Structures are given as C-alpha cells and as structure tokens.
Amino acid sequence: MLVTGAGRGIGAAVARAAAAQRYNVVINYTNSRGPADTLAAELRETGVRAYTVRADVADEAEVVEMFADVDRQFGRLDVLVNNAGIAGGYGPLATVTAEMLARLWAVNITGPFLCAREAAARMRTDEGGLGGSIINISSKAAVLGGPNEWVYYAASKGALDTMTTGLAKELANVGVRVNGVRPGLIESDFHLHAPPGRVERMAPGIPMERSGSAAEVAGAVVWLASAEASYVTGAFIDVTGGR
C-alpha cells in the first residue's frame, strides 16, 4: 500500500492500520521527513516492510520516480491511498488569490490524478496487473461547501469526488476499484489553519456530539482496500459522526 502524505495525521493513521493488516507500506512525504522516518521504523517493528519516499505529488516527474521506486522496492502495488492534500489557507472568498488556488489545485487535484494514473497502469488486469484498489481521501466539505472558511478547499475535494466516480466506472472492468472516504471534524493539525479552538467549538453541533480521530478514518480506508469490499467501487464512506 502506498499512502501519500503519510508522515502525519490521517495518512500516518492509515499506514499504521495497514501495517496492522500485514500490508507492506510505502510512506510518501514532502516536508515531513523526520516523522515519516520515525513512522517507518515503528511499522518495521511490527514485522512488515515499510519504506519512505519523498515526492511532491504535484510534480509529475517526482510522481513518476516515486512509482518507479515502489517497483524497485516491492515489485507490485496493491493499494494507493491518495491522502496528500493542503488546506490552501483559511478565510472567505475575499482571501482567495490566484497563487493560492494554483498550489491548492496542483496538490489536491493534479496530484491524485497523477498518482491514480501511475497506480492504475500497474494494477489493471488488461495490461498484466493483478488488480488493485485506489482510495481517495476527500472531505465532507465537498458536500457542505465550506462557507466562510474553505470554499476553495471544498471545491478541490468536490473535484476529487467527481474523479472518484469517473475512474471507478472507467477502471471497473480491469480489476481496479476506486472509492472515496470523506472525513468530517477530525482531530488533526489541519485545524491549525483556523482560529484556535475550532474543533471544540464545532464538536457540540455534530450529531454524535464529538470530533473524530484519524484512526477512525483509517478504519474505513482499510476496509475499502480489503477483500470484504470486493464488490464496492464508486462508493463514499462519510466518517463524520452523522454530520
């Protein structure tokens, strides 16, 4: 399993959950080398192979080299988790700039497309692959819109959802399943972009009256990757506490 943006947060939780299910794990990072290396060492202690690779998913050459590295290290790829993403900032429409949008689209949309392209080329059964699973980490913001805070982030995740639906149909008959997970109010450093206390302020408004954990998101990801979800493609699991 290759997990992009896995040095911390939801990505790191997915890597841990995958290792618990005996997946060998490739931990991609861009700037979090220290945490990625520490995580890889932790996973290796459990008896699985864990390998770190630095690549900016928005850079096509780096993505191509990352997948070539996976080929060299493992010889196959069973699961891609498109987790890498950025918030882009925080604020209403008036705070939007072209520079901010360009980087946001590059990481949150271009990156998953490039990684899905490379993963599918290795997985698809009509080209010699053994099949596989692509799981895109979206956000409930894709449905709710993120008004006054992250409309641009929500829009990027809406595009990711459309990609998930389209690729699920395109790749269904070549052994590649494509699904999405939409986290809601999850305890992570994502909220550092917002004014302090955002999670505490919003938690009472969630039907379950609490925030979620990265581990709870990871559970949904690992299930979608498993044989138990063998007839599931083009689906979305909302990990939102009912929001």
Q: Residue 147 and residue 242: Cα distance in Å, rounded? A: 19
What is the gyration radius of the CA atoms in the chain, in angstroms? 17
Q: Residue 19 and residue 46: Cα distance in Å, rounded? A: 8
Q: Which of 23, 29, 152, 153 is catalytic?
A: 153
Please provide the size of the chain in residues.
243
Active site residue 231: no
The 3-state DSSP class for residue 233 equals coil
48 φψ region: left (φ > 0), alpha (ψ -120 to 50), beta (else): beta
Give the bridge partners for 79, in sequence order: 133
Q: Is the CB of residue 219 less than 8 Å from the CB of residue 17? A: yes
Measured from the Cβ of residue 22, the count of other Cβ atoms closer than 10 Å reads: 9
Residue recorded with tokens 């990481």? 107
Catalytic residue ranges: 153
